[in-house]
Structure 1
């Protein structure tokens, strides 16, 4: 089947021709590929990004300042407290595979990186913890805003404290308390920031609010974020003024 002649030399053109057979003038555009045809390239690109991150983990080095002897998390979802971490891909404890990372979504990846930072920090390996801090913060920045809840802000605040950025940690506490004025994690994060800044009176006032809230509720409320960090809250309940409610 033929169509109108070439606009340059008027030679006859085939219906599906992209170039004039006589003079080489382009006479058509290649057909658009369906989106499904690009999927393998997209997946390959994502795999390369994840692989690059895992390689960066192995080669990056940094330092981090430990904040006293505080246990930062008081327990992590899916982690046995104080238990040995299994070696995973890239020699990292508990590092998920690329397939697992892809299935987690942005929030799952951010939480997993947070867990890794805190596990290394609590184990005393501050240099290894520092490998993951920037990546964890960047991961939380990539989480859709509607998925940033009080638990995520608490995680970001603890990461900021590990970096010595108590002001940014307080900002996260303020965000939590603005939405939920008596949220235990908001009060706890604010108390930790006050500890870091040497304001013992403010820290104890915040911990007193935590104790009052738990006593009024007849115990630690059964919210997922409270149970994930239950040991920290119990540590506050076991103090009676003048002492920080740090580790379990």
Structure 2
């Protein structure tokens, strides 16, 4: 009951802050901008005066899998940034303002407090991801070719694991810092460092969470789930659980120390 009460509070607050409106809209826009712009690029060029005399542009023929990966690419950059900025004050802001102390004195368990906020964020992020990829899937099928709905669900599931890790990483830094800006900076820096390490040691870190997108692309090309994709999914879930447990202990220690 305590956990569900906090979850409902977070969901209501997200609705009052319009997050349930603008976050899905942003993700949808990011997901469809590449499919639409690439398909209509010749008409766009023609409408602004066309190419100079003697110049030509050869546009590749995109397969449905390539188009969907463009959408994931936009979400991986700007979408992740939106999620980090949206979540940077979920706990840090309340700790800084003293609201968390008022809630925890009730008493509310540290585990329920952290996990309920984490779950509310995940519902928003997963819902936005599904709507964004659904829009991308719709335009991909119309403009570039057929992509099955089952493949769409597989994309949402496996890529959702990566966004879950991003959210959990942000929650973890929320429990360590009271400054939302610092939380966002540390989260983004960690993601960048993870990406660099994965690129440098890619031959070893095949199951790194940063490789989820490439494994998803391979799944779409081959039409089957690879063992690397499944293993990477399990590794991502394991890291997420470790970070979530660490968040609870870090938050408890910080609050008790205060």
Task: Give the TM-score taking structure 2 as reference length.
Answer: 0.27
Larger Rg: 1
Higher RCO (C-alpha 8 Å, min separation 6): 2
Higher share of residues assigned helix: 2
Task: Give the TM-score taking structure 1 as reference length.
Answer: 0.27
